[in-house]
Amino acid sequence: MSSLNHKNILLVHPLGYWEGAADKDISRMANIMPPLGMASISAYLDRQGMHSTIIDCYARPDSDRVIREYLQERKPGYIGFSCTTSSFLDGIRITALAKSVLPGIKAVFGGVHVSALKNKVLEDYPVVDYVVVGEGEQTLTELMQAEDESPDAVAGLIYQDTQGEVRFTGYRKKSIELDILPFPAYEKLTGYPDTYKLPIFNYPRTPNSSCISSRGCPYACSYCDRSVFRRSFRYNSAEYLYEHLSYLKDRFGIRHINFYDDQFTFNRKRVEKFTDMMIDRPLGMTFNCAVRAEHIDFDLLRRMKDAGCWMISLGIESGDENLLAQHRQNANLTMLAEKIRLIKKASIRTKGLLMMGLPGESENSVRKSMDYVFSLPIDDFNLAKFTPFPGSPIYENINTLGTFEEDWEKMDCMQFLFVPHGMTKERLEELFIAFYKTHYMRPRVMLGYVAMLWRSPDSWKRFVTDLGSFLKFARSNKRLGEN
């Protein structure tokens, strides 16, 4: 143990399944997002005098070999994981691998899944040494600075004391100020930016990338996890945001950014100041963002368009207003439709985000969703299969609302693991396929994708290259719906 370097940590973003299946994963072909939270932690650790390396298994499916070689050569004192529910067990597997190579290494887990489960992680998985609850930058730094001392003074940490009792040191009293953080350590992501890909038809140019300029969400939807940021909502200033984009352009040649913020326009003054900067001192970059309908108007949309906004995504979730009211605030589909038309009026591409299979879903509500979406000038949409995650309000009583197969490795929103009362998995699959098929067969939508030949030529190149895999995926889903 004494030979390990306790100022060195290997940060791992697990794949979540057997690495040999990576080339067959349709979601991975369509979208590989850089692990921005992990890159932010890495940059912060380095600033505090630690050494950190990132291995993103999602972008490097040969990562078992790379991890083993790194451990043997560098002998880090810690290995850290940021896990979703579907990738958590892969993180446990890699931990066992790491400890077989370096028996004294300490495993630290963070992210939404473990922040929701807290003490249960160490109780059920003794291979885990520490769980970071909430944001990781300060907690992980203080843990590494403590070295072999008792970590009971490190807030935001779960560990096992010398008596074998699992202890939680409590939440951090103050959230970190986002503008003091260094930019994420993009340079530590192997192959960045070319290895990472935004969804096809979701960008005009390459190279492109992702960015997060806020943490948390001011709303409390039934299906959203609140375990990391709880009820806080913070955002970078417009000045920080502009400098961040300028850095990405100068350092990596980025030409388009997708903001993964839940509510990009919540603070109107911030967006106005940011768009003023992008208009007055153009970076030659375009961007996408996600908004709630309550926080946009035509004047703001025009400013955003002039500043380079290329696409806006909105959470529709369902076209059945009664169903929607059970799961989110301000379920006003008339207002939402008006705002979507304003986005199109501002000549910004529009993407709708929906879920199928929410508790209370019925065949009638699915039909209402289809009718609603098809009545709107939406260019693209994403239909997720509702999955109840630990940490979301609805998870607590989900088994009273339908049948739920809680298989963590399958909980990636690509499968119907929850089936609401009155529905069957087979019928949900049939309706899911019908929803997508009907959308793509509409003449207006087909013409829109034809226009992508010149609006997003790289998307068409990727689509044609992976056409065989897309068709195979479509056929397998059709067979699933027929069984």
Q: What is the pLDDT of residue 241?
A: 97
Q: How many whole angstroms separate alpha carbon 225 and alpha carbon 217? A: 10
Give the residue numbers spanning the domain of 267: 198-482
Q: How many whole angstroms separate alpha carbon 365 and alpha carbon 373? A: 12
Do the beta carbons of residue 197 and residue 462 sit within 8 Å? yes
Asked if residue 234 is part of any domain, the answer here is: yes
Give the H/E segment covering residue 52: strand 51-56
150 and 233 inside one domain: no
Q: List beta partners, residue 166.
A: 160
Strand 402-404 to strand 418-420: parallel, antiparallel, or no bridges (unpaired)?
A: antiparallel
146 and 231 inside one domain: no
404 and 445 inside one domain: yes
Q: How many whole angstroms separate alpha carbon 170 and alpha carbon 157? A: 7
Asked if residue 189 is part of any domain, the answer here is: no
Asked if residue 371 is part of any domain, the answer here is: yes
Q: List beta partners, residue 13.
A: 56
Asked if residue 106 is part of any domain, the answer here is: yes
Give the H/E segment covering residue 373: helix 363-374
Q: What is the CA radius of gyration of the chain?
A: 23
314 and 377 inside one domain: yes
Do the beta carbons of residue 285 and residue 254 sit within 8 Å? yes
What CATH number does residue 439 fall under?
3.80.30.20
Strand 309-317 to strand 286-291: parallel, antiparallel, or no bridges (unpaired)?
A: parallel
Q: What is the DSSP letter of 145?
A: H
Q: How many whole angstroms separate alpha carbon 352 and alpha carbon 312? A: 9
Q: How many whole angstroms separate alpha carbon 168 and alpha carbon 105? A: 21
Asked if residue 158 is part of any domain, the answer here is: yes
Place of tokens 């300490």: 106
What CATH number does residue 62 fall under?
3.40.50.280
Mark 132-170 as b/e (b = at least 16 C-beta within 10 Å).
bbbbbbbbbbbbbeeeeeebeebbbbbbbeeeeebbebe
Place of tokens 């502009």: 242
- pLDDT per residue, tens digit, the chain (483 aa), is 458 998 999 999 998 765 554 455 555 556 789 999 999 999 999 999 999 999 999 888 788 999 999 999 999 999 999 999 999 999 999 999 999 999 999 999 999 999 999 999 999 999 999 999 988 999 999 999 987 678 999 999 999 998 889 999 999 988 899 999 999 999 999 999 999 999 999 999 999 999 999 988 877 788 887 666 666 788 999 999 999 999 999 999 999 999 999 899 999 999 999 999 999 999 999 999 999 999 999 999 999 999 999 999 999 999 999 999 999 877 899 999 999 999 999 999 999 999 999 999 999 999 999 999 999 999 999 999 999 999 888 999 999 999 999 999 999 898 999 999 999 999 999 999 999 999 988 898 889 989 999 999 999 998 888 776 555 555 555 444 444
142 and 50 inside one domain: yes
153 and 230 inside one domain: no
Residue 72 burial (C-beta neighbours within 10 Å; 0-12, 13-18, 19+): exposed
Q: List beta partners, residue 216.
A: 233
212 and 135 inside one domain: no
Asked if residue 477 is part of any domain, the answer here is: yes
Strand 5-13 to strand 51-56: parallel, antiparallel, or no bridges (unpaired)?
A: parallel
Q: What is the pLDDT of residue 1?
A: 46
3-state helix/strand/coil string of 227-277: CCCCCCEEECCHHHHHHHHHHHHHHHCCCEEEECCCCCCCCHHHHHHHHHH
Q: What is the pLDDT of residue 329?
A: 79
134 and 271 inside one domain: no
Domain end point (choices 168, 183, 212)? 168
224 and 123 inside one domain: no
pTM over 0.85: yes
Asked if residue 418 is part of any domain, the answer here is: yes
202 and 153 inside one domain: no
Please give the tally of structural domains in the chain. Answer: 2
Asked if residue 442 is part of any domain, the answer here is: yes
298 and 425 inside one domain: yes
Backbone φ/ψ region at 5: left (φ over 0), alpha (ψ -120 to 50), beta: beta
Do the beta carbons of residue 10 and residue 81 sit within 8 Å? no
Q: What is the pLDDT of residue 226?
A: 67
Strand 166-168 to strand 157-160: parallel, antiparallel, or no bridges (unpaired)?
A: antiparallel
What would the DSSP string read from start to end of 175-206? PPPGGGSPPP-GGGSTTTTTT-BPPTTS-SSS
253 and 362 inside one domain: yes
Q: What is the pLDDT of residue 19?
A: 54
Q: How many whole angstroms separate alpha carbon 140 and alpha carbon 110? A: 9
